[in-house]
Amino acid sequence: MYKQYISVDEALQEIINHTPRANTEIVPLDQAVGRVLARDVVADTPVPSFAKSPLDGFAVRFEDVKTATKENPVALTVVEEIPAGHLPKVTLTLGQAARIMTGAPLPEGADTIIKFEDTSLVMSEKQHYEACGDKVTIFNVPKSAGNYAEIGEDINKGDVILNAGCVIEPAVIAVLATFGYAHVAVYTRPSAIVFASGDELVNVDDDPMPGKIRNSNSPSIAAQLQLWGANVDVGKIVQDQEEIIAATLIHALQRYQLVVTTGGVSVGDYDVMKDVFQKIGAEIIFWRVNMRPGTPMVVAKWDDKLIIGLSGNPSAAYISCELFVRAYVYKMQGRFDFWREPVTATLVEDVGKAVNQDRYLRAVANINQAGNLVVKPLAKQKSGILGNMIDANALVYVPADDNKIYKGDQVKVILLKAPKGESVND
């Protein structure tokens, strides 16, 4: 017999344990943003790979200029000009300087850069420093030598600079580009399909007759999966009939890596989802999680794939998807950030009597004026409530045995999104 009423952590662990790793594919760098890196990136060169100037000015020998002040400036002979991208030709010796631009290689013999502003050069009308001929006078110097960019000061050769599993964000693109990754190995996007079941459901573009409602779960679940990196299709609405659902699921399982259903997982006369999972030979891993909303979720294994049966109640489906399906889709793509560690926040108003089940109250988390995280549960908490989900960026954990939690209490919070700016209600 399968497990029942397991904790959120246990349910998450089960899902993680049953997650197959996605394949890898190679994509061009300009299509890699948002994908997940499939290989570590090791620096095959130091960065910078040559010592270079961080300023527009003069490369000098510290020894020659260290006494320079406004009152006692030091004059040097300018022996060459080094633009960025060009190699120096001269090794600096006693009393010599090279005019050098930001990013240009440091000439041999130089150990210090003096910026234009600390020299006798004046700015032209066009806001450029004038040409100086073969003499420059220095009147201000750094405290010590070495104010240039050293080889490897950014990244050392051999450093593991990116780990497989990291999400390719713009900063990651910069690193990949630096090391010549015109193409990148990434995890393939998992393929998923979402089915809604229920005789009451009509398509989004249909007018619901009395007693019917539009299917809002399939589009919202599909959108969640899409945001998390999956390639998603939305299946047709299926009636609450075992044979129809069974045939639909088998067809889908042969084609997709993940099948998500919504509806029909509770104890109603037409809640047949878990029976169908068993009928098609899937092994139920658990049914019912000790949480509200989202209690009756069912997860089954078919081959090496999971079928995740979410509740039909819109916010229950949404939250279970956030907590569990997201973890599965992330883990499939080799991501490590699938587990949301709860944070502590201060409750800004009393919460009524708890039910005999762990609750996850939809809430708004803010950073208050003092810079602390505060959280305010939304007024409506029924599982069928959909309208206020757009405001929720957090879930407040209320353990079953806590009769009441009060304003000012420290509570555990799962952040679904970043906390909002300053709160007005705390």
Ligand X SMILES: Nc1nc2c(c(=O)[nH]1)N[C@H]1C(S)=C(S)[C@@H](COP(=O)(O)OP(=O)(O)OC[C@H]3O[C@@H](n4cnc5c(N)ncnc54)[C@H](O)[C@@H]3O)O[C@H]1N2
Beta strands in 208-337 (DSSP E): 213-214, 231-234, 258-262, 283-289, 298-302, 305-310
Residue number closest to ligand X, CB atom: 312
CB contact set of 296 (below 8 Å; sequence gap of 6+): 265, 266, 267, 271, 287, 288, 311
Q: Compute the distance between CA of residue 49 and CA of residue 408 in angstroms, rounded to an integer.
A: 55
Q: Compute the distance between CA of residue 226 and CA of residue 229 in angstroms, rounded to an integer.
A: 5
Q: How far is the CB of 273 from ligand MOO (least distance, A)?
A: 14
Q: How far is the CB of 316 from ligand X (least distance, A)?
A: 4
Name the region of 101 (left: φ>0; alpha: ψ -120 to 50; beta: rest).
Answer: beta
Q: Compute the distance between CA of residue 199 and CA of residue 213 in angstroms, rounded to an integer.
A: 10
Six-digit token string for 19: 């997650």
* Cβ pair 265, 312 in contact under 8 A: yes
- Interface pattern 170-209 for ligand X (x via CB under 6 A): --------------------------x-x-xx--------
For position 217 contacting ligand MOO by CB under 6 A, the verdict is no
List 57, 105, 165, 264, residue binding ligand X (CB under 6 A): 264
DSSP 38: -
CB contact set of 267 (below 8 Å; sequence gap of 6+): 296
- Size of residue set near ligand X by CB under 6 A: 27
Residue list 265-324, contact with ligand X (CB under 6 A): 265-268, 271, 293, 295-296, 311-314, 316
Residue list 365-404, contact with ligand MOO (CB under 6 A): 383
Q: How far is the CB of 309 from ligand X (least distance, A)?
A: 8
Judged by beta carbon distances under 5 to 8 A according to partner kind, the member of ligand X, Mg ion, ligand MOO, none in contact with residue 215 is: ligand X
Judged by beta carbon distances under 5 to 8 A according to partner kind, the member of ligand MOO, ligand X, Mg ion, none in contact with residue 119 is: none
Q: How far is the CB of 10 from ligand MOO (least distance, A)?
A: 16
- Tell me the C-alpha to C-alpha distance, in Å, between residue 275 and each of 271, 278, 302, 309: 9, 5, 14, 11
Q: How far is the CB of 388 from ligand MOO (least distance, A)?
A: 15
Q: Which is nearer to ligand MOO, 234 or 297 (CB)?
A: 297
Please report, as ranges, the residues that interact with ligand X according to CB under 6 A.
Answer: 196, 198, 200-201, 213, 215-218, 262-268, 271, 293, 295-296, 311-314, 316, 383-384
